[in-house]
């Protein structure tokens, strides 16, 4: 493989002054956003996306992906100090991290979570560098039928692993696909569902939808009255950060297991950091000789999930960059960024824009090093940021949303759309309908329709083309299997919830 020359190209690109600056700003903003409860990575990325229009495509990608994995580092801070997760992926860390904080040892899990994130991130990045080019060489043989089936699998998988019910997620995927059809039909040039509003011809911008559902709706949900935790001010000297020898020994294997789990799950469409960290916690509890310590300050319950969610955040780039099929909402936003910058996503990206792909990989490695440096000495600073009251913070978020949406097309129509979609999103969130599948559908909708039409045109309208072709047929078979398994599991589960205490943690951040 040409891994090393490619990496050399990547580092040469990433070490330019402007790219280093983008990387630093990205991971810094990501850490702040991740640390603040009630502001997720998706919100932050969608809020900042419009301001990267003027950047080079690579700079924009470096900045936005830095926010994503930066948030995975920062999110543990609020979980440990406040028992209030900064992002859903860090929710599980609160169980043992907060317990340690109450014992007056907050600095130790904060330090260990940064180290574990670093380990997980670095190992996963090697996998991205190796696996993505291998997948690309297969994907280059793909025709429209394979593409269509692959996207279908992505959407089905994303719905199958989602926290709420499968039917709801599939429904939201379909709503997203339908919203993605609004605008001009590329084949016939006909206006669809535009109600004669000229600006609708360009379709509903995914940025406006993301800002409405992940920004505005989130703020509305966060404003519902509920008790807020008080912050514990930890001692943050170097000595307070050190684990005992026994804890250090246990952490090594826990973070490696977390890394392996996160890397594998993150690369699958739909799974992503949140599920990886929840599963890593369960695994650590299973393999532990003293499972009763969990929830009372077991360090494995912090480092395993932290390594897992950061590893998953990195390997999540594999399907996005190699196939052009996003695995989750963040992947969808990054894919949208590529499209805005005039780069057709898909396997060709790596051969046509090698500096973009390898530069991004290299910058993510640099970003992980920067994060270690940002997180450990400045733990005290993040604690201060956490104490900004939400009542002062959220009006500022609303203004940023407005300016961001307005700058998408310099028009107030987008703002009316934002307000309306925000209210719709609030109602849907009250019905437990998740927003991520909708965003995935919205981004994939036009591509799916195009590939479906092309495949059927080639086969003269014969739907069996999707099954006769072995790759496409195999993927479709996997889809059907996944649907059956998921529906059966859901019906068997019936009324009782799989893991009530986990569900409770998760609903905290919705």
Contact pattern for other proteins over residues 120 through 159, marking x by CB under 8 A: ----------------------------------------
**# of chain residues touching other proteins (CB under 8 A):** 65
* Out of 432, 468, 501, 503, the residue judged to bind other proteins by CB under 8 A: 432
426 binds other proteins (CB under 8 A): yes
Return the number of the residue (232 or 407) whose C-beta is nearest other proteins. 407
At its nearest, how many Å lie between other proteins and the CB of residue 66?
19
- Find, among 397, 386, 360, the residue nearest to 34 by Cα: 386
Return the number of the residue (68 or 166) whose C-beta is nearest other proteins. 166
Q: Which residue has the tokens 């317990």?
A: 99
Return the number of the residue (4 or 491) whose C-beta is nearest other proteins. 491
* Out of 3, 104, 193, 351, the residue judged to bind other proteins by CB under 8 A: 193
Query: Please, which residues have CB within 8 angstroms of residue 418's CB and are 6 or more apart in sequence?
Result: 208, 211, 212, 216, 401, 402, 405
394 binds other proteins (CB under 8 A): yes
Report the alpha-carbon distance of residue 54 to residue 452 in Å, rounded: 33
Q: What angle do CA 300, 303, 306 make, to 5 degrees?
A: 140
Report helix, strand or coil for 63: helix
341 binds other proteins (CB under 8 A): no
Count the Cβ atoms, other than its own, within 10 Å of residue 2.
Answer: 10
480 binds other proteins (CB under 8 A): no
Q: Where are the alpha helices (DSSP H) in 103-244?
A: 107-139, 144-160, 166-181, 206-210, 217-222, 238-241
Ramachandran sector of residue 410 (left: φ over 0; alpha: ψ -120 to 50; beta: rest): left
- Candidates 146-154, 215-223, 258-266, 343-351 — which segment interacts with other proteins by CB under 8 A? 215-223
Q: Which residue has the tokens 């090393």?
A: 4
Query: Please, which residues have CB within 8 angstroms of residue 264's CB and are 6 or more apart in sequence?
Result: 315
- Candidates 10-18, 93-101, 278-286, 450-458 — which segment interacts with other proteins by CB under 8 A? 450-458
Positions 280 through 309 that interact with other proteins (CB under 8 A): none
11 binds other proteins (CB under 8 A): no
Return the number of the residue (252 or 388) whose C-beta is nearest other proteins. 388
Report the alpha-carbon distance of residue 206 to residue 329 in Å, rounded: 11
231 binds other proteins (CB under 8 A): no
207 within 8 A of 405, measured Cβ to Cβ? yes
Report the alpha-carbon distance of residue 463 to residue 456 in Å, rounded: 7
Return the number of the residue (342 or 389) whose C-beta is nearest other proteins. 389
- Candidates 101-109, 160-168, 341-349, 472-480 — which segment interacts with other proteins by CB under 8 A? 160-168
185 binds other proteins (CB under 8 A): yes
336 binds other proteins (CB under 8 A): no
- Candidates 59-67, 144-152, 364-372, 395-403 — which segment interacts with other proteins by CB under 8 A? 395-403
Q: Which residue has the tokens 């390898």?
A: 358
At its nearest, how many Å lie between other proteins and the CB of residue 459?
8
219 binds other proteins (CB under 8 A): yes
Return the number of the residue (15 or 390) whose C-beta is nearest other proteins. 390
Burial of residue 392, with CB atoms counted within 10 A of its CB: 0-12 exposed, 13-18 middle, 19 or more buried: exposed
Ramachandran sector of residue 228 (left: φ over 0; alpha: ψ -120 to 50; beta: rest): beta
**What are the backbone dihedrals phi and psi of residue 432, each rounded to the nearest 5 degrees, phi first?**
65, 25
464 binds other proteins (CB under 8 A): no
442 within 8 A of 176, measured Cβ to Cβ? yes
Q: What angle do CA 68, 256, 79 make, to 5 degrees?
A: 45
416 binds other proteins (CB under 8 A): yes
- Candidates 21-29, 83-91, 276-284, 428-436 — which segment interacts with other proteins by CB under 8 A? 428-436
498 binds other proteins (CB under 8 A): no
373 binds other proteins (CB under 8 A): no
460 binds other proteins (CB under 8 A): yes
Return the number of the residue (268 or 418) whose C-beta is nearest other proteins. 418
Return the number of the residue (179 or 312) whose C-beta is nearest other proteins. 179
Query: Please, which residues have CB within 8 angstroms of residue 37's CB and are 6 or more apart in sequence?
Result: 78, 82, 84, 85, 86, 386, 509
DSSP 232: P
55 binds other proteins (CB under 8 A): no
What are the residues binding other proteins (CB under 8 A)? 51, 54, 165, 167-168, 170-171, 174-175, 177-178, 181, 185, 187-188, 190, 192-193, 216, 219-220, 223-225, 389-392, 394-396, 398-399, 401-403, 406-407, 410, 412, 415-416, 418-419, 422-423, 426-428, 430-433, 449, 452-453, 456-457, 460-463, 491, 494-495
């Amino acid at each position: 493989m040409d891994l090393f020359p490619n990496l050399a190209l990547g580092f040469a690109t990433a070490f330019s002054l402007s790219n280093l600056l983008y990387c630093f700003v990205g991971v810094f903003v990501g850490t702040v956003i991740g640390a603040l409860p009630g502001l997720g990575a998706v919100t932050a990325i969608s809020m900042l996306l419009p301001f990267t229009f003027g950047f080079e495509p690579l700079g924009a990608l470096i900045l936005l992906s830095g926010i994503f994995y930066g948030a995975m580092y920062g999110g543990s801070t609020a979980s440990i100090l406040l028992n209030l997760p900064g992002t859903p992926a860090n929710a599980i860390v609160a169980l043992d991290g907060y317990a340690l904080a109450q014992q007056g040892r907050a600095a130790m899990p904060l330090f260990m979570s940064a180290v574990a994130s670093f380990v997980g991130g670095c190992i996963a990045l090697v996998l991205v560098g190796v696996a993505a080019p291998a997948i690309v060489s297969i994907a280059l043989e793909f025709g429209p039928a394979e593409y269509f089936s692959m996207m279908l699998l992505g959407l089905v998988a994303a719905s199958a692993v989602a926290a709420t019910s499968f039917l709801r997620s599939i429904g939201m995927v379909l709503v997203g696909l339908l919203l993605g059809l609004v605008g001009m039909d590329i084949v016939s040039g006909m206006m669809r569902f535009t109600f004669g509003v000229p600006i609708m011809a360009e379709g509903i911008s995914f940025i406006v939808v993301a800002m409405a559902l992940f920004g505005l709706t989130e703020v509305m949900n966060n404003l519902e009255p509920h008790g807020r935790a008080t912050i514990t001010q930890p001692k943050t000297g170097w000595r307070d950060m050190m684990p005992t020898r026994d804890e250090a020994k246990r952490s090594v294997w826990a973070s490696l297991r977390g890394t392996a789990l996160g890397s594998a799950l993150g690369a699958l469409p739909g799974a992503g950091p949140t599920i990886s960290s929840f599963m890593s916690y369960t695994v650590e509890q299973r393999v532990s000789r003293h499972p009763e310590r969990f929830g009372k300050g077991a360090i494995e319950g912090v480092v395993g999930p932290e390594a897992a969610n950061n590893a998953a955040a990195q390997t999540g780039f594999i399907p996005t960059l190699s196939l052009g099929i996003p695995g989750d909402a963040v992947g969808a936003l990054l894919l949208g960024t590529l499209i805005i910058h005039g780069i057709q996503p898909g396997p060709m990206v790596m051969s046509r824009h090698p500096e973009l792909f390898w530069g991004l990989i290299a910058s993510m490695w640099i970003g992980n090093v920067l994060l270690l440096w940002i997180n450990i000495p400045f733990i005290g600073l993040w604690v201060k940021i956490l104490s900004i009251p939400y009542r002062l913070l959220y009006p500022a978020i609303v203004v940023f949303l407005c300016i961001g949406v307005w700058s998408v097309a310099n028009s107030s129509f987008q703002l009316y759309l934002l307000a309306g979609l925000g209210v719709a999103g609030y109602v849907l969130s009250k019905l437990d309908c998740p927003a991520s599948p909708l965003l995935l559908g919205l981004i994939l909708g036009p591509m799916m329709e195009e590939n479906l039409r092309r495949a059927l045109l080639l086969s003269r309208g014969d739907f069996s083309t999707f099954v006769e072709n072995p790759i496409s047929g195999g993927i479709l078979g996997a889809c059907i299997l996944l649907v059956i398994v998921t529906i059966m599991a859901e019906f068997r589960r019936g009324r009782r919830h799989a893991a009530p205490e986990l569900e409770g943690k998760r609903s905290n951040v919705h």
